[in-house]
A and B are shown apart, each in its own frame.
Chain A
Amino acid sequence: QKEVEQNSGPLSVPEGAIASLNCTYSDRGSQSFFWYRQYSGKSPELIMFIYSNGDKEDGRFTAQLNKASQYVSLLIRDSQPSDSATYLCADDRGGSQGNLIFGKGTKLSVKP
């Protein structure tokens, strides 16, 4: 059974700090990963998409992928209270097929 594991949190960080969210996956053949943000009662919103080993940066967000360790992370710099949400990591099961396997999500709370 292919799985994606995330710490459910809550992860609490002060405003302006770096929030670090982590995700591990079981399928060694997995190629690409997504990070979604989901506010309470809303649908997931795409933040980042990564398929190469290393880092990918977009504004305050950096996604990191380590295929050898089967580990994906999301760093949020200069965290804001508006970043408070649940962050979902998803495995694209080997590439662009839209059959995403999601973790349960990590709840992030940014305190003013």
Chain B
Amino acid sequence: DAGVTQSPTHLIKTRGQQVTLRCSPKSGHDTVSWYQQALGQGPQFIFQYYEEEERQRGNFPDRFSGHQFPNYSSELNVNALLLGDSALYLCASSLGPRWFFGPGTRLTVL
């Protein structure tokens, strides 16, 4: 049984560009949450998708947007990248109370 997968593994962008990160949840999991983890910090909640709709959102600007597809996979889009967006982006999925994280995408903004 494959766990949560994310792509790409690493990404380098320049300020002002746009980026799309992808996540496939664990088999059977219908809910996906996205987190941003800066170096030396705990993950911070960005938003959550369930039934193809954004169900909850953390304290992130509108530059951060997402989507969930009918097969439960999800995308995170970030527009107008800033240097401060450099972080590890984590996707987590769940079918109940336990949340499992994918390997993450390391985004570097130059």
Contact = CB atoms under 8 A, between A and B. Distances in A.
A85 interface: no
B16 interface: no
A57 interface: no
B97 A101 contact: no
Contact of A99 (B48, B97, B100, B103): B48
Interface string B11-53: 0000000000000000000010101000011111100100000
Interface residues of B, number: 25
- Give the interface SS of chain A, mostly helix, strand, loop or mixed: loop
Contact of A98 (B41, B44, B88, B94): B94
Given A104-B40, A104-B41, A42 B98 contact: no
B101 A103 contact: no
A20 B96 CA distance: 28
A105 B35 CA distance: 15
Nearest to A95: B97
Contacts of B43: 44, 88, 100, 102
A99 B43 CA distance: 11
Interface of A: 4, 32, 34, 36, 42-46, 49, 51, 88, 90, 92, 95-105
Interface of B: 31, 33, 35, 40-45, 48, 56, 58, 88, 90, 92, 94, 96-104
Given A99-B33, A99-B58, A100-B33, 16 more contacts: A32-B97, A36-B101, A42-B104, A43-B90, A43-B101, A43-B102, A46-B100, A46-B101, A49-B98, A88-B43, A90-B42, A96-B96, A98-B94, A102-B44, A103-B42, A105-B42
